[in-house]
A and B are shown apart, each in its own frame.
Chain A
Amino acid sequence: MAETISKPRSFQEIILRLQGYWAERGCAIMQPYDMEVGAGTFHPATTLRSLGTNPWAAAYVQPSRRPTDGRYGENPNRMQHYYQYQVLIKPSPPDLQALYLGSLEAIGIDMNLHDIRFVEDDWESPTLGAWGLGWEVWCDGMEVSQFTYFQQVGGHDCHPVSGELTYGLERLAMYVLGIDHVMDMPYNDPQSPIPLSYGNVFRQTEQEYSRWNFDVANTDMLLKHFEEAEAECEAILTHDHIDPKTGHRIIMVHPAYDQCIKASHLFNLLDARGVISVTERQAYIGRVRALAKQCADAFVQTEAGGWVAE
């Protein structure tokens, strides 16, 4: 590259640069989904929009929660709450690899000094009934992203195929910024009048959630909520497509999908509380997958999902 790109100075600058980079390449910059999810893939802008024939291009930050990964803020790079950066383009453009490498340069990774590799890693989400082929991308031996061509989502074959990029933001930022412990990472510019580290922002919440996730969360309540979310998801989708009040065809996919997301997160919480046995685990995953599949079935019946009125 002719111009040398300056090094970013903070976590947020890396996010801002990614937002700018993908905005310039035509992606709709979405905001995080306003529910607890385990990964950026759960955002309807990925799960649902990867279905059907309509073209799509979106990029967004998604706060992600994995209760079992909580370490009370003590582990250098493991947390129960972290950020993913997610890009989804449908159909996957032929130069997606080059576009992706451009994004690494944009956040200050000099291609002339680093070793970037695409190492086989097939992606599968048993809870979403989804899978794809692709790679984990290595920078100097460290996994910095997941790169996937979606083949199936919610049990539906993807036509056209979406290309999905997922960046683990904290890990990537720590590498770019040369930080060893996530809590020491500058969240805003260290030259700011009020410099904040990642730890200033998140150490306490990691402690609070770790304690709640592992030892305190009311499992009876969580179990009840799981059942309720499951029932509501199914109930929503059984309603007639025609809304009797407006007379319009309104399939309530997103409200139903919200319940599916809820069920998935509740399952993760129950798992962290250690109340789900190995055999039950598969059954719970199957129940969430069944919801995801029903939502996918419904979505392709909507205009956003490529449905066209006769």
Chain B
Amino acid sequence: MPDLLIELFSEEIPARMQAKAAEDLKKRVTDGLVEAGLTYSGAAAFSTPRRLVLTLDGLLDQSPTLREERKGPRVDAPTKAIEGFLRGAGLTRDQLQERDEKKGAVFFAVIEKPGRPAAEIVAEVLEATIRNFPWPKSMRWGAGSLRWVRPLHSILCILTTEAGAEVVPMDIDGIKAGNSTEGHRFMAAGRFAVSSFDDYRAKLKRDHVILDATERAEHIWHDATNQAFANGLEVVEDRGLLAEVAGLVEWPVVLMGEIGEDFLGLPPEVLQTSMKEHQKFFSVKNPKTGRIERFITVANRETTDHGKTILAGNQKVLAARLSDAKFFWENDLRVAKAGMGAWTEQLSNVTFHNQLGTQAARIDRIAALARELAPVMAIEPDLAEQAARVAKADLSSEMVYEFPELQGLMGRYYAEAAGLPQAVANACEQHYSPLGPSDDVPSEAVSTIVALADKLDTLTGFWAIDEKPTGSKDPYALRRAALGVIRIILTGDLRINLDRFIDSQLLKHKISLTRSSAQAGETEALEEMLDEIADHGVFGAAFHAVLDRLAGKDDAPDMEDGSLLRTVGDAMPDLSTDLLAFFHDRLKVYLRDQGMRHDVIDACLEMPGSDDLTLLVKRATALSDLLKTDDGENLLQGYKRANNILTQAEEKDGVEYSFGADVKYAETDAEKALFAALDTAEAAISPAMQNEDFEVAMRGMAALRAPIDAFFEAVQVNADNAIVRRNRLNLLARIRNICLSVADLSQIEG
């Protein structure tokens, strides 16, 4: 059985694409081979900056012969039918077999597909793979039309058996497959032929190429940590950088250099970011001082001067970069110590979004919302506002302009330099959290409030201008913002009625969006509604309160259909419901990942207070626990049975059964017992619901299981006596009402 070796040799492949490309090569080639019947026993893929490599061992030397039998028409069938069959099978009439079957002689076609040699299949599969390769970005070059990530120069493709290696004949746009390749760009002598994977790998190493990216990464890490250790220092771990650097070199040579004394006073994150982003350097820390004092760079070659020239060059570039960083830092500190006023002023010239206004306007909204939210965490509204006002000031700083990834962190340094309270400084950094599903939520109260205000303002803003995420498009990361709000609320066990804040913030956006086109009194009326929301809790009541108040006045703004007030009033409820539904969708995804059934959440969504996510999750958790018990499962069945019978009867009779069940019409013990049990359950559930004690409520509901079962066992609901029947249906309605007061059990599957 032959082994297959493929090398696709090109100009430098971007480091970030190499690992996936090697995997794609493996997957596409092996899938194609297997589909053509060519199985293999093992596969491995590798990448370097200039090559993608695949090796397969134990490949079949040809695909198996396939034999297919097809039953055709009867021998005496019309000629047209037989001709059609022949066309389909690709045979002539004398190649058909006649077989006697029960109903007479029938034609059979026996089609044999002979196996094909491995080389032929490999050539086809590899060509298709190259032509359809899933590069994130590909290009053409020269006068050709082939696409690859960068110009493709040669293809090595050989099948090796004990008898030797043979080139797989193929030609893609003038690139002929061969058995040779070349080593390192600068440290090798020229092309060489190979006869197997082992031979290939060994000759590459001889010519200064380490084929395996993992081996290169290990080599880099080993040398880097050794050199640092020898100087009593340690390398700051950065796996992403390590993988990237391993993709930039074929022959890694680790060099350690010094950072000029002038720059050691910069914040360590600035040193680290500047060195990593611009130079792909690792940071080397002195554990005694905690400072970053040196750097590690990885060259792609050995030199006669042992890297002296290379290191000197790198040091020079670093000094230039860090002079810039130091210049920014010192300028920024001056502004910070003067109170950051210059930055907050500047933000009024920076557009956040062309419809949603400037960063300054955005900060005003966030600050006002932070004040309103402050009681949730029992902090001073003034403190929340102060934090919100400076949280984004660093966006104007020179350092953040240069390194956007340092936003927030620089804010903290600058707020500290400005002498602001530590909680405010921390909020500058933490209010962006959580950035991802596994990122920590803010740990402090002030940060939490600013983070919530920031995210809620962003979400309501984009909702107000109808820029919601669709499908895979979410350019403003609104799903992430909503998940952030959810995680902050649930982690902190916070009690927030989102409706009220969604309504008031949406209305604020509507006010600023319509301000320029508003007639006299209109903006003021909308602003009055804002105050009313604070009192009433939701938009609907606030809207009507203001309209009623304005109705009699002479100078009242236009309130007819099509007026600004009506348009806003009509749009608000849908927007608000839609945004809350978006939160609920994100919550479902989040809880599903934690193992909560989606139907359990659905059963709680329609219950009152579902804009209070903590309450919602509490209810869902209690319901989920109940359903895991035997009582819960059976109660569900009892509820469904009651509900089915009721629904059918209601449809048939055209009335709704809801009240009026009277124990005096109860005929059997089971029926009487159910009356008693429902009384007990109601007495237990109602106060429990008042106290949001869902466990007690669920227990109360679970206690209904036995009486309901016994009732259905003993009693025929649709009795002949109409009074008895109606009484029983009304009794079932009590079951339904009690259960529905806890959760919408009809949403539960099973």
**Chain A residues at the B interface, C-beta cutoff of 8 Å:** 76-77, 91-94, 97, 111-120, 122, 132-135, 139-142, 149, 151, 158-161, 163, 175, 180, 277-279
Contacts and interface: CB of A to CB of B under 8 A. Distances in A.
Nearest to B313: A140
A133 B313 contact: no
Contact of A140 (B153, B310, B354): B310
Of the listed residues A113, A134, A277, A278, the one surrounded by the most CB atoms of chain B closer than 10 A to its CB is A113
15 contacts: A91-B142, A92-B142, A113-B310, A115-B300, A115-B313, A118-B11, A120-B14, A122-B137, A133-B139, A135-B12, A140-B317, A149-B150, A159-B140, A278-B350, A279-B354
Interface string B141-170: 111100001110100000000000000000
B16 interface: yes
A202 B268 CA distance: 38
A97 B304 CA distance: 24
Contacts of B318: 141
B92 interface: no
Given A91-B142, A120-B16, A113 B150 contact: no
Interface string B9-20: 001101110000
B314 A160 contact: no
Contact of B313 (A93, A111, A120, A175): A175
Given A122-B137, A278-B350, A114 B151 contact: no
Nearest to B327: A75
Interface in B516-572: none
B151 A141 contact: no
A142 B316 CA distance: 9
Nearest to B309: A113
Contact of B12 (A118, A132, A158): A118
Contacts of A151: 139-140
B186 A133 contact: no
B297 A113 contact: no
Nearest to B323: A76
Contacts of A180: 316
A219 B706 CA distance: 87
A91 B16 contact: no
Given A140-B317, A141-B314, 6 more contacts: A111-B186, A115-B310, A133-B149, A140-B312, A141-B318, A161-B142
Interface residues of B, number: 41
Contacts of B314: 140-141
Interface in B334-377: 349-351, 354
B734 interface: no
Nearest to A121: B14
Contacts of B137: 122, 133
B303 interface: yes
A116 B151 contact: no
A277 B11 contact: no
A142 B300 CA distance: 14
Contacts of B262: none
Contacts of B12: 118-120, 135
A91 B151 CA distance: 12
B305 A113 contact: yes
Nearest to B149: A133
B226 interface: no
B644 interface: no
A141 B279 contact: yes
Of the listed residues A93, A119, A120, A159, the one surrounded by the most CB atoms of chain B closer than 10 A to its CB is A120
B139 A160 contact: no
A161 B145 CA distance: 10
B627 interface: no
Contact of A279 (B186, B279, B301, B351): B351
B99 to A, nearest CB: 59
Given A112-B303, A114-B309, A115-B300, A132 B248 contact: no
B310 A277 contact: no
Interface in B258-311: 279, 297, 299-301, 303-305, 309-310
A87 to B, nearest CB: 16
Considering the complex of A and B, which 10 residue pairs feature the smallest CB-CB distances, nearest first? A140-B313, A120-B14, A118-B12, A160-B143, A141-B314, A115-B299, A91-B143, A91-B142, A133-B139, A113-B309
A63 B49 CA distance: 34
B645 to A, nearest CB: 64
B248 A119 contact: yes
Nearest to A140: B313
Nearest to A282: B354
B589 interface: no
B303 A113 contact: yes
Nearest to B358: A278
A134 B309 CA distance: 26
Contacts of B310: 113-115, 140-141
A149 B141 contact: yes
A97 B49 CA distance: 14
Contacts of B15: 120
A139 B150 CA distance: 20
Given A112-B303, A113-B305, A160-B142, A141 B350 contact: no
A278 B351 contact: yes
Nearest to B299: A115
Contacts of B14: 120
A116 B186 contact: yes
A76 B316 CA distance: 12
Contacts of B153: 94
Interface string B238-255: 000000000011000000
B320 interface: yes
A140 B143 CA distance: 33
B313 A94 contact: no
A161 B317 contact: no
A50 to B, nearest CB: 13
Contacts of B249: 117
Nearest to A133: B139
A109 to B, nearest CB: 10
B141 A92 contact: yes
A91 B186 CA distance: 26
A93 B305 contact: no
Interface string B103-123: 000000000000000000000
A134 B13 CA distance: 9
Contacts of A158: 140
Contact of B139 (A132, A140, A278): A132
Nearest to B135: A133
Contacts of B303: 112-115
B556 to A, nearest CB: 37
B313 A277 contact: no
A161 B139 contact: yes
Contacts of A119: 12, 248
A141 B313 contact: yes
Nearest to B15: A120
Contacts of B320: 76-77
Contacts of B143: 91, 159-161
A97 B11 contact: yes
A116 B185 CA distance: 10
Nearest to A97: B11
Nearest to A93: B142
B248 A117 contact: yes
A114 B304 CA distance: 10
B309 A140 contact: yes
Given A117-B248, A279-B354, A142 B151 contact: no
B150 A133 contact: yes
Contacts of A76: 320
Interface in B560-618: none
A117 B280 CA distance: 12
A122 to B, nearest CB: 7
B348 to A, nearest CB: 12
A274 to B, nearest CB: 10
A279 to B, nearest CB: 6
Contact of B151 (A94, A159, A278): A94
Contacts of A135: 12
Of the listed residues A112, A114, A122, A140, the one surrounded by the most CB atoms of chain B closer than 10 A to its CB is A140
B311 to A, nearest CB: 8
